[in-house]
Structures are given as structure tokens and as C-alpha cells.
């Protein structure tokens, strides 16, 4: 897709270990997102995809290993430098996270008002430009409650790019979208990446959709990257766990049921 496989690493996760309440989430995870590329992070529910994003942004800290963003070890940054790093990153949250008491315009303007002192005419132009980029300039005066799910996701994307970030992170951007809205979001991710040179990380479990645009994909399982490579390489992987996830197979090494006692014994235990 034209991106260099040796481009500078914008995100570099090395031998990452992290546990919650004694339960291991990451056990030696290695992952790299390179400048100008779209990197997909996939995996079944519960494999730590959203936890990884919190580690990248310094909301939580790893037990060991390193998480570097723009060459900075996030865990070692003081509050000021950490906030400065976050301003270089745009985030599209899974649920959009629009503020219900603000208009579409003001939702997109919020980061600019919080972090800059731009004159109002310039701020207005920037917001309208971002809304135009996502096809919603005509919805500037609408309230979030008046938007469809797909429109709300596009407003959230406009807000995520209003500060012209170098790194854009998408947390499950395709959930609940109709086919048209999904196609629009896919095209926007690819267009932003190509025209603005943004580095993108897309956290998702939608294999078919992300495989159309990703340069590099990681499949998380067992606290590590069970597979890494282009979408085509992952689709052709011989590893049973990778093959099960990539092809959506109901049977395989990844179980549907959470480990539990014997079913019959548990049903009958109160009768004993």
C-alpha cells in the first residue's frame, strides 16, 4: 500500500507485562506502529486491546517492559510532558463520547477551546473544515441526540482530528455501523492516513473491514502478539488460533465458554 516497512516507529511496545488482580493481561507483548501506516490491533474480547490504549496514553503503567510513543517512555514522563504528548494524539472512542449538552460544532471545537487561544474566526474555520472532511458541515448546529449512530461517530472523528494529531487511535470504530456508514469511516481512515500522513492505530475485531486498509496487523492472544504481518499474511496463517479468529470459526483453540465447573454437577449441587 505504499508505506515503508522501515519507517520510523511512532509507537514501540517492548516486552510488555501487565496484570490486574493477579490475572495476566500482557505477558511479553511486542508491537510497533510506524509513521504513515495504518496498524490494526485485533483479538477476541478480553485480550487487552483497550487496556493497551490506556497504557499508550499513560492512564495506567506497565508492571515491566516499555511503552514508547514518539520515542518517549510514557511511564517515565512527568505530568506536563505527558499532557504535551497526549496533545499530539487524536482518539476516537468506541462510543463516540460526544457531550450531549453541546452542539456538533461545540463538540468539535472543544479541544481547540481547551488547549489553544485561537481567535474565534480562525477557530470557526478550523471546525467547519473538519466537519466538511467528515461530510457533516451541514449538521454543525445539531445536537448529538439528533444524530444517527454513524453521524455521531463521524462527529467524534472530526473532533479527534481538529488538533491535527500526528497519531490517531481508533477504538472499535466499526461497531454498530450500517454498511454505508462503515464504508465512509473506512474511506476516512484511509484518506486521513494518505493525505495528512497521520499514523493510525485501529483497535478492532472486524477482520474483513480492517483487512481492506491496514498495512500491518497484530492479533493479540495469550498476552502476546500471536501473529503479526500484513492482513494477507494473517489470513494465510497456519496457526489454529490465528486461523480461527481471522476466519471467524466457531470451533478451535479459543473457547466460547469461560472456564467453569462441570455443568451437570453445578446444576445438581443444590439438590444434593
Q: Is 222 within 8 Å of 234 (Cβ atoms)? A: no
Contact 19, 25 (CB under 8 A): yes
Residue 212 or residue 74, greater confidence:
74
27 touches 223 (CB < 8 A):
yes
Best mean pLDDT range from 97-111, 173-187, 240-254: 97-111
| Contact by Cβ (8 Å): 131, 156 | no
Q: How many CA atoms lie within 13 A of 41 on its CB side?
A: 29
Collapsing DSSP to helix, strand or coil, 91 comes out as strand
pLDDT band of residue 264 (cuts 50, 70, 90) is: confident
Closest of 194, 231, 236 to residue 214, by C-alpha? 231
Interval 228-235 mean pLDDT: 77
142 pLDDT above the threshold of 90? yes
Most distant CA pair in the chain: distance in Å?
76
Confidence of residue 3 (pLDDT cuts 50, 70, 90): low
Does residue 162 register a pLDDT over 50?
Answer: yes
What is the rounded average pLDDT of the residues 131-151? 89
Mean pLDDT of 158-184: 85
The DSSP bridge pattern shows strands 64-69 and 38-42 to be unpaired
Report the chain's mean pLDDT, rounded to a whole number: 84
Give residue-wise pLDDT tens across range 20-31: 888 889 999 999
Percent pLDDT > 90 in the chain is: 39
Write the DSSP assignment of 6-56 as a string of letters. TS-EEEEEEEEEEEETTEEEEEEEEEEEETT-EEEEE-STTSSHHHHHHHH
Helix and strand totals (H; E) in the chain: 10, 10
> C-alpha distances in angstroms, 41 versus 33, 55, 160?
10, 14, 19
Q: Tell whether the torsion through CA atoms of 151, 158, 57 and 39 is positive or negative.
A: positive
Task: Give the Cα separation of 6 and 3 in Å (integer).
Answer: 9
Output the nine-digit C-alpha cell for 194: 494518505
Residue with cell 493477579: 22
Class (C level, CATH) for 1-88+168-182+196-272: alpha beta
Mean of the pLDDT values across residues 57-84?
A: 92
Which single residue is written with the C-alpha cell 470557526?
124
Residue 69 CA to residue 73 CA, distance in Å, equals: 7
- Which are the contacts of 270, defined by CB distance < 8 A and separation ≥ 6? none
In angstroms, rounded to a whole number, what is the distance separating the alpha carbons of residues 191 and 87? Answer: 21
Place 5 in a pLDDT band, splitting at 50, 70 and 90.
low
Is 265 or 161 the better-scoring residue by pLDDT? 161
* Contact indicator for 195, 164 with CB cutoff of 8 Å: no
pLDDT band at 237 (very low <50, low <70, confident <90, very high): low
Question: Which position has the higher pLDDT, 98 or 209?
Answer: 98
pTM: 0.81
Of 27-31, 123-127, 148-152, 176-180, which range is least confident? Answer: 176-180
Range(s) of the chain covered by CATH 3.40.50.300: 1-88+168-182+196-272
**Residue 250 vs residue 72, higher pLDDT:** 72
Amino acid at each position: 500500500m505504499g508505506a515503508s516497512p522501515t519507517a520510523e516507529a511512532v509507537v514501540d511496545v517492548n516486552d510488555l507485562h501487565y496484570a490486574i488482580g493477579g490475572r495476566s493481561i500482557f505477558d511479553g507483548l511486542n508491537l510497533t506502529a510506524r509513521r504513515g501506516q495504518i496498524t490494526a490491533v485485533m483479538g477476541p474480547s478480553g485480550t487487552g486491546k483497550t487496556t493497551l490504549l490506556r497504557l499508550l496514553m499513560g492512564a495506567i503503567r506497565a508492571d515491566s517492559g516499555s511503552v514508547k510513543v514518539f520515542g518517549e517512555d510514557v511511564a517515565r514522563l512527568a505530568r506536563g510532558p505527558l499532557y504535551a504528548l497526549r496533545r499530539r494524539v487524536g482518539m476516537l472512542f468506541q462510543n463516540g463520547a460526544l457531550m450531549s449538552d453541546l452542539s456538533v460544532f461545540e463538540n468539535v471545537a472543544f479541544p481547540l477551546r481547551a488547549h489553544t487561544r485561537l481567535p474565534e474566526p480562525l477557530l470557526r474555520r478550523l471546525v467547519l473544515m473538519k466537519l466538511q472532511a467528515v461530510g457533516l458541515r451541514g449538521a454543525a448546529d445539531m445536537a448529538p441526540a439528533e444524530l444517527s449512530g454513524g453521524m455521531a461517530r463521524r462527529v467524534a472523528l472530526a473532533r479527534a482530528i481538529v488538533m491535527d494529531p500526528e497519531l490517531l487511535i481508533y477504538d472499535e470504530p466499526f461497531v454498530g455501523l450500517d454498511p454505508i456508514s462503515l464504508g465512509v469511516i473506512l474511506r476516512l481512515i484511509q484518506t486521513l492516513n494518505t493525505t495528512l500522513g497521520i499514523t493510525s492505530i485501529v483497535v478492532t475485531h472486524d477482520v474483513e473491514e480492517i483487512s481492506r486498509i491496514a498495512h500491518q496487523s497484530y492479533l493479540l492472544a495469550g498476552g502476546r502478539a500471536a501473529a503479526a504481518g500484513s492482513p494477507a499474511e494473517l489470513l494465510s496463517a497456519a496457526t489454529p488460533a490465528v486461523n480461527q479468529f481471522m476466519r471467524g470459526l466457531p470451533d478451535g483453540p479459543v473457547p466460547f465458554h469461560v472456564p467453569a465447573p462441570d455443568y451437570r454437577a453445578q446444576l445438581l449441587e443444590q439438590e444434593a
